[in-house]
Chain A
Amino acid sequence: MADIGMESAVGISAAGDGAGPGYRLLAKESPEEEGRFLEISMGPQHPSTHGVFRMDVLLDGETVVRLKPVFGYLHRNHEKIAEGTTYLGSMPYTDRLDYFNSMTNNWAYALAVEKLAGISVPERAEYIRVITAEMTRLQNHATLMGFLLQDLGAMGTPLMYAFREREKILDLFEAVSGSRMMCNYMRFGGCRVDLPSGWLEETVRLVDEFPGFLDEFEALLAENEILMARLQGVGVLSAALAVNAGVTGPMLRASGVNYDIRKVDHYGIYDRFKFRVPLGAHGDCYDRLMLRLLEMRESIKILKQALKQIPSGPVIDPKVKIRNFKPKPGEAYGRIEGPKWELGFYLMSDGSASPYRYRVRPPSLINLTVLEDLCIGQKVADVVVILGSVDIVLGEVDR
């Protein structure tokens, strides 16, 4: 009985195709359907929406019939502010996009500006960038898994383990950049300061110890029957839909598409490292979770190689001006494989000190667009899990 209602509602949603009032009509005005569905507003105050995010969910019993994401509660005018400030002045704001991964945000923005102004980056700075980016990936994936398990109701235990490890990485970030989360470390043409003495040894130790934590995590998660029951076959994203919707990152690879910008775009010095790209086959939440675990293992491989090879030398191109930085008119798009997915910055310069157009490709937002497709037909308990497996940060969704 339940599935009939579901199908009819899905039919209407397909016909209306994004027409918001479609399901309201169904819920409120058709007499035979009245009282059948329960419309609940999950968020903006909800424990599991990962910030101020709202989902307008229509339920048939506990089955999701329709889901409408509502964003914008954390809109901070990032792009327009950037168009009014200097190129450098936007750097600290990029920290606050995806506040988990400020290092990679910095890198993506620096990359775009470097393309725009034709700046080259010293060797050592490239290595530092790779090291910090991969460490960012480690802490992001670890925390994501923790949060996902938290959404599953695991009382924060995995989350606390993840945070324990993340603290160690953040300590290192603080030692190098001065701040734990808002690093503001990359600069156009390199990095702001050189690594402090002893930092590399600390990092080597961390990287050596990290697999132990991953093993622990895997023991806690990978074969857990409840976890498999909750995640396998839930929120399946087909490869075709993923590609069409512009989904990138681990979410795309969980659907089996081999697309990693580190491999495809050859940015930075990723060509020099040997690593593999794990691919899922089912595209469900379990794949998305496990893929992140595997990616962390690959990140550790990269880190080990980079820490071995890192040369000495300058960390920033001294020719790049800090004040009065005015790139030639033109446009550039810089993108990297962020921990979450493809993060891109599009810049258009008119030769003045601030960009004429500044645009972020916000991967959290783009990957969220498939949320409804993932959630329809699932239980309400799955919605928070699917949202967790998408791994959004509202700072980036709303900008």
Chain B
Amino acid sequence: MFGKGIIKGFIETARNFAGSYHDPARMVTLQYPEEKRALPENSRNFPFLVFDGNDPIKGLRCVSCKICEKECPPQCIYIVNERDERGKPLKHPKIFDIDISVCMSCQICVEVCPFDSIKMDQAYELSATERFKKLILHKQDLAKSNDYYHRIHPTEADAVDAILEAERKQHEAKKSAASSETPPAKQ
């Protein structure tokens, strides 16, 4: 019968019209600034640096090995070593910048980091009023505590803590042996 398909379509849209008032499966809109979706644990946005203890700069796990800088596909990480007065590089970054206007959130820096010092953040409200300077995050912007890491990625952070603890114990046990093998990359 001619018109059957069209009438079916009308019924369908009417059903959706009514459904949008009572059926949460149909009305999936979240009104963003007021309502926010709970992010899944794995959710990632831009990297941050984990620090232990209370001092965000001194406690950084980062040893400035520059592996992430090298592996980063869009080359958005910039690291300069801290040096002591004689110019010998220290295991600490002097500059650690991430240009989040370039970063593509691929998480490769996290995967290649042997020291579990760089992790993915979940903060997504990062809009700025300027295109260049304000979108470059510096060391002090990037440093976030281990507690914060536990808050956003609890499962992953527990696993990381367990590994680090095991390593530390192993390290203490073999204190006599000076060689510290780079632990295998996680994940």
Q: Taking beta carbons and an 8 Å cutoff, which residues of A are in contact with B?
A: 85-86, 88-93, 95-96, 157, 161, 164, 167-168, 171, 174-179, 182, 184, 192-193, 196, 209, 216, 219-228, 322-323
Contacts and interface: CB of A to CB of B under 8 A. Distances in A.
A86 B42 contact: no
B12 A220 contact: yes
B171 to A, nearest CB: 21
A93 B41 CA distance: 24
Nearest to A180: B43
Contacts of B9: 219-221, 224
Contacts of B44: 178-179
B126 interface: no
Contacts of B155: 196
Contacts of B6: 224-226
A296 B12 CA distance: 20
B3 A225 contact: yes
A224 B41 CA distance: 43
Given A196-B42, A219-B11, A178 B107 contact: yes
Nearest to B111: A322
Interface in B1-43: 2-6, 8-9, 11-13, 15-16, 25-26, 28, 39-43
7 closest A-B pairs (Cβ-Cβ)? A223-B5, A92-B106, A178-B44, A175-B40, A224-B5, A89-B73, A178-B42
Contacts, number: 93
Nearest to A212: B25
Interface residues of B, number: 35
Interface of B: 2-6, 8-9, 11-13, 15-16, 25-26, 28, 39-44, 67, 71, 73, 104-108, 111-112, 120, 155, 185, 187
Contact of B71 (A88, A168, A174, A193): A88
Given A95-B106, A175-B41, 17 more contacts: A85-B73, A88-B108, A88-B111, A89-B108, A164-B26, A164-B28, A174-B39, A174-B42, A174-B43, A182-B105, A192-B111, A196-B41, A216-B12, A219-B8, A224-B6, A225-B3, A323-B185
A167 B29 CA distance: 10
Given A161-B16, A193-B42, A193-B187, A182 B106 contact: yes
Give the residue among B9, B13, B155 with the most A Cβ atoms within 10 A.
B9
